[in-house]
Structure 1
């Protein structure tokens, strides 16, 4: 189970814009959100009707800066499954101008748990 999503860094994705720093480069919170989106894309086709997945743990090492206008490919690959728990290895790479993978921007792991949507929301009292 895996998925790859590609994003282009915009001004709204920068550390300056998301409040995680003062530089106009890809912000770690946005990168983390993109990694989670890739795990959702990987797991969605496998979810039972009426279910969704929720993120429960994230470990991410942001290794290199990406400028506004740069393209980033996020790969999420399932590496462990145990009942409702799913663990994904995630990696992000810049995409070179010729379309080939460039430098590694980030690597880590995202854990998700499959839940029944209605039961989950009912526990919130809303």
Structure 2
């Protein structure tokens, strides 16, 4: 597998208008009607995927291997949040991203995401193969 060339500084943005389905109540991560931390993480990961998607060659993908979330401010239903992912470091097949999630000027969360570049088909075969071993 030939590794794609990714340069630190690449970035991508994804946006979300918070709905009832995105709340801690709906996600089972709490009992308050605000943007749930699991949804913040999913949004951050979507931004990291978008960051590399344009330059990802066929047959190659990335998977998340580590994440650290600092959820700093509550976001009620109806608010619009933006996640900006920036590729901070490339270490062989490992990509390290810094993601900032904002509601306007309010810092909602800071997320660090580690993704690894791999052969998509081999990964799927390994995952499906492990189902037979269970």
TM-score of the two chains, using structure 1 as the length reference:
0.92
Q: Does residue 92 of structure 2 align to residue 89 of structure 1?
A: no
Q: Does residue 99 of structure 2 align to residue 104 of structure 1?
A: no
Does the 8 Å CA contact 1:87/1:110 hold for their aligned counterparts?
yes
1:104 aligned counterpart, secondary structure = strand
Where do 1:1-126 residues align within 5 Å? 1-95=10-104, 102-124=105-127, 125=129
Which sections of structure 1, spanning at least 5 residues, go unmatched?
Answer: 96-101
CA distance in 2, matches of 1:122, 1:27: 33
Higher alpha-carbon deviation: 78-87 or 43-52: 43-52
For the aligned residue pairs, the C-alpha RMSD in angstroms reads 0.9
Give the structure with the higher percent strand: 1
Alpha-carbon offset, residue 49 of structure 1: 1.5
Alpha-carbon offset, residue 117 of structure 1: 0.7
CA distance in 1, matches of 2:116, 2:53: 12
1:123 aligned counterpart, secondary structure = helix
Does the 8 Å CA contact 1:89/1:109 hold for their aligned counterparts?
yes
TM-score of the two chains, using structure 2 as the length reference:
0.87
Q: Which runs of 4+ in 1 moved over 3 A?
A: none
Equivalent pairs counted in the alignment come to: 120
Alpha-carbon offset, residue 43 of structure 1: 1.1
Give the structure with the higher percent helix: 2
